[in-house]
Amino acid sequence: MKKISLLLILFISIQQVSAQNFRKPYREAKRALKKKDYVTATLKSAESLKAKNNFKKSNDIFEKALSQVNIWGANYIKSLENRAIPYKDYRSVESMKEIFITYTKLDKVQEKLVELSNSLSSKQKKFVSQHTFNYERKRKESENLLAAYNKNAANEFYTEGVDAFNNSKSKYDYREAFRIFENSKSYVNDFKDVNNYLNKSLNLAVLNVSYFPVRNLTNKRSNRNALVDLVNNSTRFFDNYTFANYIEIRNKIQLKSLGMLKDKGKAVLKNIDELVKFKFSRYYAGPTVIKSKEFYSNTKEKKNKDGSVKKWYCEGYKYELTATGYVDLIVEIIDNNGDVLETENINILVEHNDGFFLATKDSDRRAYPLLKKYRTSMPEPFNMSRALKNNFNSYISNVYKRYK
């Protein structure tokens, strides 16, 4: 009897798995057909029919999708060919790539039809044969054309890059040349000596960057260490930036403003290309304070089947905690001649709020409402200085994007 029960359970499990095998792809095919994605609709309905070839709903979608997929493909490819052929410039590559991808999708549909044919009825096979095409030759032709187009585009950018490199007069010019060579490499990885030019232009494009001692305009000397810590923490970004080499100078020369540079200061700065100047006008990392405190107690009862009643009890205080912090500053990017290249106003506000129930030692969690925050000890004070630092890093990384 046990064996029969086990076999019955196994049979039911297999039936459920089989149902999932054809129902899931059917649902995916149905969604795809609504979006007029005939490739996906054909492939998914074919997958459903392979699992159950007499499933009428899948068969209906399969016939609708298959009757349209080749027509859609032909029309879509023709519109792409009008844009891509003959080759005009690097923008022709995208259309040719899409032609190749479309032929690959259509070819995949045909492969699926061949795979499916053994599990179809004679009527279904006849319908499939009417919509079977060989896309292999067209797919290979588009693949070869795409390779040729990629070489043309790589050569376009390579020629432009060489011209930009030879006419570069500053690190900013070499950076532009580097970007152009990167475009060439994106089409053909090792086109001519593009990698050699990439290395040369990168070496000549990297900026030496440092920053001035922090200007504390907050009128609070106690903020000094916090502000310096914010700035020191942000210099680590330069390790990941392509076009910046951070050079430490702030402890070697104490400069209050660029206009006060003497010859000695200029001599130290001659190898510095850009300086970052932080002018802090406000900084406040407020403590965590109790916004409200309210006594709460509750008893919860549950009546058992035998008539007895089980009770749980809790008591304590409902707390609302809050903390506020802010940082306001101006960041200036300056060249070694004193000219301001970029200015950014940064205003950071952090507001922390926390609400919870602090229960006494003998309280029972089951007496307090579900999904409500329940604690048995006070949380650590909110680390406002760390929150401000994290926000500061987020803002300053956006300023430093110029070095990526």
Evaluate whether 65 touches 33 at the Cβ level (below 8 Å). Answer: yes
Torsion of CA 32, 37, 42, 45, to 10 degrees: 0
Q: pLDDT of 325-375, one tens digit each?
A: 999 999 999 887 778 899 999 999 999 999 999 999 999 999 999 989 999
Question: Would you state the structure tokens that stand for residue 370, as one six-digit string?
Answer: 């579900």
Residue with more model confidence, 232 or 336: 232
Evaluate whether 320 touches 379 at the Cβ level (below 8 Å). Answer: no
Q: pLDDT of 287-312, one tens digit each?
A: 999 999 999 999 999 988 888 999 99
5 pLDDT exceeds 70? no
pTM of the model: 0.75
C-alpha–C-alpha distance, residues 212 and 277, integer Å: 5
Evaluate whether 272 touches 249 at the Cβ level (below 8 Å). Answer: yes
Q: pLDDT of 178-188, one tens digit each?
A: 999 999 999 99
Pair type for strands 340-359 and 309-335: antiparallel
Q: Quickly list DSSP for 322-366.
A: EEEEEEEEEEEEEETTS-EEEEEEEEEEEEEEEEEEEE-TT--GG
Q: What are the C-alpha distances in Å from 24 to residues 11, 16, 32, 33, 49? A: 20, 12, 13, 14, 11
- What mean pLDDT do residues 122-141 have? 88
Evaluate whether 215 touches 280 at the Cβ level (below 8 Å). Answer: yes
Torsion of CA 26, 31, 37, 40, to 10 degrees: -30
Q: pLDDT of 38-65, one tens digit each?
A: 999 999 888 888 888 777 888 888 889 8
**pLDDT at residue 20, as a whole number:** 56
Residue with more model confidence, 20 or 112: 112
Q: State the CB neighbour count (10 A cutoff) for residue 324.
A: 17
**pLDDT at residue 148, as a whole number:** 97
Q: What are the C-alpha distances in Å from 105 to residues 125, 130, 278, 390? A: 21, 19, 55, 46
**pLDDT at residue 265, as a whole number:** 58
Question: Would you state the structure tokens that stand for residue 94, as one six-digit string?
Answer: 């995208």
Q: What is the mean pLDDT of the chain?
A: 87
Q: Which of 66-70, 108-112, 248-252, 381-385 has the lowest mean pLDDT?
A: 248-252
Torsion of CA 28, 30, 31, 37, to 10 degrees: 100
**pLDDT at residue 46, as a whole number:** 85
Q: pLDDT of 233-284, one tens digit each?
A: 888 888 888 999 988 765 454 554 444 455 655 666 777 899 898 999 999 9
Half-sphere CA count of 281, side-chain side, radius 13 A: 8
Q: State the CB neighbour count (10 A cutoff) for residue 168.
A: 18
- Residue type at 43 in one-letter notation: L
Q: What are the C-alpha distances in Å from 237 to residues 87, 243, 402? A: 42, 12, 12
3-class secondary structure, 310: strand
- What mean pLDDT do residues 98-121 have? 88
Q: pLDDT of 173-219, one tens digit each?
A: 999 999 999 999 999 999 999 999 999 999 999 999 988 778 888 88
Q: What are the C-alpha distances in Å from 57 to residues 22, 52, 127? A: 11, 11, 16
**pLDDT at residue 222, as a whole number:** 85
321 pLDDT exceeds 70? yes
**pLDDT at residue 9, as a whole number:** 42
Q: In terms of Cα–Cα distance, which of 209, 213, 228 is closest to 269?
A: 209
- Residue type at 182 in one-letter notation: E
**pLDDT at residue 132, as a whole number:** 86
CB neighbours of 39 closer than 8 A, spacing ≥ 6?
69, 105, 106, 108, 109
118 pLDDT exceeds 80? no
Instruction: Using the CB atoms, write b or e for 68-80: b if 16+ within 10 Å.
Output: bbbebbeeebeeb
123 pLDDT exceeds 90? no
117 pLDDT exceeds 80? no
Evaluate whether 63 touches 72 at the Cβ level (below 8 Å). Answer: no
